[in-house]
Amino acid sequence: MQEILNKTYKRIKSDLGKGKVADYIPELAKVNPKQFAMSLVTIHGEEYNVGCFDKRFSIQSISKVIVLAMAMEIVKEKLWQRVGREPSGSAFNSLVQLESEDGKPRNPFINAGAIVTTDVVVESCLDPYKLILDFVRKNSKSYDVNFDKAVVKSEALYAQRNTALAYFMQSFGNLNSNVKKVLDVYFHHCSLAMSTLELSRLFLFLANKGINPLTDTKVMNPRYVKRINAIMMTCGLYDSAGDFAYRVGLPAKSGVGGGIVSILPGEFVLSVWSPSLNHSGNSYIGTKALEQFSRLSGKSIF
């Protein structure tokens, strides 16, 4: 495994920096684009790394998997009355689909859908910030993981589109808590700063039928685990889920911070980070690295 990671790194090295760093908020725009990290953690606890695997970055949309997992444990299958699970065919922050489908987001991985899952978490408790931090810290076994306050602030300043989405869903009766509060929690979890190693540890329960093998605790119902993987497969990579399935063949979720988490059920979690993005908003090098890894290792779900 370590050898395959090393080989993968070699193959993508010369391309480092290609693509374009996200620039919609200053905090992301100023990241050095040439960084790279990859961490594979098996369900038996073996860990393999290359690059700056302990450097934290903004996980952004990868946090949508966290709130989806939390929301499913809270309201179970009732979640699907408020959010769909089909690929969207449109941009991650589009309002078009919402309008023609009466305020029900197409899936939990577009912004509108993650605002709904965040609303579920907000409704369920007094302190959603703490609930989310506890979940992340416990499962990654990194007790100092935190929100990046500078990123939160930055997000809030460029929040009009997400604010529009939230009010729009509220106009259809699909947002229960206060709009400002839900958006604040949403901006917080998007701004979580974590390393690839921490991400791979955190999501081990998705490769291991709901049980985190590091802490030996049941994180969620195994039935729901299968379902989250299915949604990652069909909706995890914005509007290039099909292309990613074709090239990589693993359920995965990306973020505009340049991170991608992928799962091979029954085997491992493989996280990668490199900040420059392709035109679909996924890490340019990260996607390439996962494709190389899949080719070199023969590992995929297909």
Residues that bind its own copies (CB under 8 A): 84-90, 94-100, 106-107, 160-161, 163-168, 170-171, 225-227, 229-231, 233-235, 239-243, 245-246, 249, 251, 265, 300-302
- Least distance to its own copies, CB of residue 38, Å: 21
**CA nearest neighbour of 27 among 279, 258, 272:** 258
By beta-carbon proximity to its own copies, the closer residue of 37 and 204 is 204
By beta-carbon proximity to its own copies, the closer residue of 163 and 215 is 163
Rg of the chain taking only CA atoms, in angstroms: 18
Residue with tokens 């609930």: 131
The residue type at 103: G
By beta-carbon proximity to its own copies, the closer residue of 202 and 245 is 245
How far apart (Å, rounded) are the C-alpha atoms in residues 247 and 231? 17
Instruction: Extract the tokens encoding 199.
Output: 């991400």
By beta-carbon proximity to its own copies, the closer residue of 81 and 171 is 171
- Least distance to its own copies, CB of residue 22, Å: 16
By beta-carbon proximity to its own copies, the closer residue of 75 and 164 is 164
- Least distance to its own copies, CB of residue 126, Å: 25
Please state, as a whole number, how many other Cβ atoms lie within 10 Å of the Cβ of residue 81. Answer: 10
The residue type at 247: R
- Least distance to its own copies, CB of residue 158, Å: 8
Please state, as a whole number, how many other Cβ atoms lie within 10 Å of the Cβ of residue 32. Answer: 9
- Least distance to its own copies, CB of residue 9, Å: 22
Q: Are the C-beta atoms of residues 205 and 66 closer than 8 Å to each other?
A: no
